Structure 1
Amino acid sequence: MGDLALNTSFSHTDFLLCGFPGISQSRHALVIPFLFMYMIIVVSNGVMIYSIWMEKTLHSPMYILISQLFASNISYTTTILPKFLLGLTFELNQVTLTGCFVQMFFIYLTGTSESILLVLMAFDRYVAIRMPLHYHNIVTKRTLTLLIFIGWVRSFLCASLIVIFASKVQFCRSNIILNFACENMSLLNLACGDISNVQAVGLLIRVLITLTDGTFVLVSYLIILCTVMKILIGKASEKAWQTCSTHILVAMLLFSSGMCSSLVYRMGSLISQDVQNLISLMNFVIPTSADPFIYGLRMKEIRTSLKKAFGKRNFGARL
C-alpha cells in the first residue's frame, strides 16, 4: 500500500477507492454486516414509503415530506454502499475521475436534500400549530411542490459548486483514495498546488447549510413547543409534542452526524485512517437506518398504516 501511495508514474484518470487500508487482507469480513445494513435501510425506508402511499389519510403535506425523507435516505446510501460492497467482495474498487465526480455530486445532492426536507417539516409544523386556521390556505399542494422544488434546486447548486471547483484541481500525488467513497476532501488530498480556495468553498457550503438549516429547525421547534405548552391542552398537546419531538430527534441525528464527520476529519492524524473511515461511514448509515424506526415507533398514524398495509395487528405495539 505504501509503495502504491508513493508512485507518481500513473495517469490520474483512474483511481482506487481503498475504504479500510489497514485491514485490506480481512476486508471480506465487512461484507456481511454492511450488506445487512444496506438491506435494512432499503427495506425499512421502502416499507415506510409504501405504507404512507397506501393510506390515503396520510396524503397530507407532513407525511409527503416524511416519505420524501425516506426516499432520500435510500438514494443517499445507494450512492455509496453498493460500490463499497463491490470493492470489498470482488475488489472492484476502481473508479474513473469522471465517475468519482458523478458519485461526489450525488452524495452532496442527496445529503443536502435531507437537510432541506427537515426545514420544510419544521415550517409545516410551525404553520399547523401557530396558524391552524390558515394552514390549508398556506400549505397547499402547489406551495409544497414549489418548496420541495426550490429545495432540490438548492441541493443541485450546492453539489454542482463542489464538483465544479474540485474538477479544476490538478492531481499529481497518488491515485489511491483512502476512503470508501469519492468525498470532496478525500479526493482533494491527492491534489497538487494550492487548494485552499476549493477547500474553503466546500467548508463554506457545509457550514452555511448546517447553520442556516439547523438554526431554522431549532428556532421553529422552540417556538412551536412554547405554543404547545401555552395553548394546546390534553390529547392535542400530547399529539403535537409527540410529532414535533420525533422531527427534532431525526433532525438532531442528521445534523450531529454531519458535525461529527467534519470533526473527525479535522482531527486528522490523531485518529487512524481506518477509524476515520469507519466513523464517517457510520455517520452515513446510522441516520438513514434509524429514521424509519423512529417514525414507526413514535407516530401512531404510521403504526396504524403499517398494520393495515401488512395485516399484523401486533406490529408497532408499545414496548
Structure 2
Amino acid sequence: MTEPASPVIGLIAGGGQFPLLFAEAAKKRGFRVAAVAHTSETDPRLEDFADELIWVKLGQLGKIIRHFHEHRVSEAAFAGTITKTRIFRDIMPDWKALALWNKIDIRLDDSILRAIAGALADEGIEIIASTRFLEHLLFPEGLLTKKKPNAGQWEDIRFGWRLARSVGRLDIGQTVVVRERSVLAVEAIEGTDAAIRRGGQLAGSGAVVVKLRKPGQDFRFDLPATGLGTIATMAEVHAAVLAVEAGQSLLFDQAAMVVAANKAGIVVVGLRCEDDELPAQCAGCI
C-alpha cells in the first residue's frame, strides 16, 4: 500500500534565524516545506531544512505563486526580516507584483503585507500565523535579568509604553527609545537596531527601549522580535532597559540573551497590558 503523502506547507523566508526555526519545527510536525528564499536576505542554510526551495529577488510575486502551485501549497507563512529600505533600490517587481503595488494607496508595513496575503489567497494560498509551530518563542512575562528597573526607569517604561502604542497604531514602527521622559528615537523604516543606536547615542547612556506589538497586530506579519543582537546593540550605546510586551513578540536565544544582558548590566522585562497606559502597580509585579 502506498504511504499517504506528507502535507506540504509553504514558507516565504526573509533574513535571520526565524525561517530556519519555522522550517525545522514544521518538519518535526510531519510537514514537507516548500520554501521561497530572498536573495541577499535569507540564510543559505535554509536549503538544509527545506524540501523544495527557490531563490527570488524582492518583488517576484509571480514566481512565488508558481512555486507554491507546483508543490500544491495551500498554506504558507511569512518568517524572517526583509531590509525595508531595499524597496527603494533593490526591488525588481514582476507584472504581478507591479499590478498589486499600484493598487496599494498607503504603503505601510501591514498594508503591503495584507495586500500580498490577499493576492496569495486569490490563488488558493492562505497565509497562516508565523508562530503556528513556535509558540514557545513568544516573549515571556516577568523579569528575565538580575537587575530590576529603578523608580525612574519605571517612569520611562510607562512613558515609552504609551508612546509606542500610539506609534504602532499609526503603523510606523514598534519601538521607542526614551530617557527621563524625553523621546530620543522612534522606529520607522530603518528597523529596531538602528533606532536603538540613534536614541542611545543621543542619551549618552541609560536609555530605555520599549518594544510593543502594534494595536491589532496580525500574527501573520512582521511580529516584533528581540534576541542577542538587540542586547549587543543596546550594550554598544550603554542603554539600560529593554521592556517588551509579553506574549506579543518573539524572543530568540533566550538563555544566551539573558546571560549577555546580565553581563552588560541591562534590565530585560516582559510586561502584559492591553491598554495604552501601563498600570503604575506593574513595578510591584516583578
TM-score, with normalisation over the residues of structure 2? 0.26
Higher helix share: 1
Structure possessing the higher relative contact order (Cα contacts under 8 Å, 6 or more residues apart): 1
Q: Which is higher, the Rg of structure 1 or of structure 2?
A: 1
Higher strand share: 2
TM-score, with normalisation over the residues of structure 1? 0.24
